[in-house]
Structure 1
């Protein structure tokens, strides 16, 4: 239950950050074209529709590929992993359209929402402002610079790196969360591997201490008025 709750939230957060970074760079690259279109008389809706369509198509295609891959691959992979230890029936993969609709709505919210957040400033700017390059962000004095004994011992490259890190906080947040999330996923994957791998050892060596198992197969028949139950006998080696 915890994994099914934490993993989707983590992936949604990563997707939102990726969409925010992608839309920000896309708007920066097309800033001149946006100014030209606004100068020619195009409305904000017409100018922003390109980014909205781009985000909507990305959400639709990503959701379709995710549904096809996730619904058809992961259940069979998990069933195969547990099938090596337990006698499980064949799985029947079904599409739960309500969950797919919720996933699509979240994907559209991430892509279209981030597009609106990025466009809110540029669409309200004058064409003359959009036709000019955006002014770089003003640098600020870092808290670390007040520690003179440490700041003067840093090289020039280290000082520039630290200033850029705190100057572009969005990129810093994206990098930190991405690395932290990937590390958490790796640790979780290794933990699941060790947990599943030790189940069979504990189950058959520590919990089960009998030599054979008799299970009911579920196939019943009648012979001369007598009700017969078919059972399976499995001898444990």
Structure 2
């Protein structure tokens, strides 16, 4: 099998794809797209994804280019047969919770990251608004995980891979503690202990930048 080509960077969205590739065991090559220097806007990358976002995978054996992390995870599950939901009910749950991540978890924490870390002016109202919404989303996840071992049910699956990198970023980058959401904290630690998750979190290994 020809290795899948992964175009990515060290971000929560990029880690979804690298963790999933590690979970499936599919061979892949890594191409760093340095979004800090604007490589996602080059003509070569825009030919892969006109929306100039990572991650992107190219599967030479099937002549497929897949963009959007949720679509990539579903594609890789189908491609490998790993973490693929079995029954129709399980597939619907997996789809529902991957879309919940795409519509709520990532956008909310991404905006909080922007306004809390990168914005030249730290506006308390805006930061507070996204912190409040993040707390609400965490409570939704906590309620689901109080009933099930994993996000889409009792089995580990693509909804967990989709969501974990953003919860990790919230904890390590944004100071969003898990003290008030014990079921979410239990799940976070269980997923963090998976070897494939640790390997995927290390992708890509970025070169050291020279200091000015």
Per the TM superposition, whether the score is higher than 0.5 is: no
**Structure having greater relative contact order (Cα 8 Å, sep ≥ 6):** 2
Structure number, greater radius of gyration: 1
How high is the TM-score relative to the length of structure 1?
0.26
- Choose between structure 1 and 2: higher helix proportion: 1
How high is the TM-score relative to the length of structure 2?
0.28
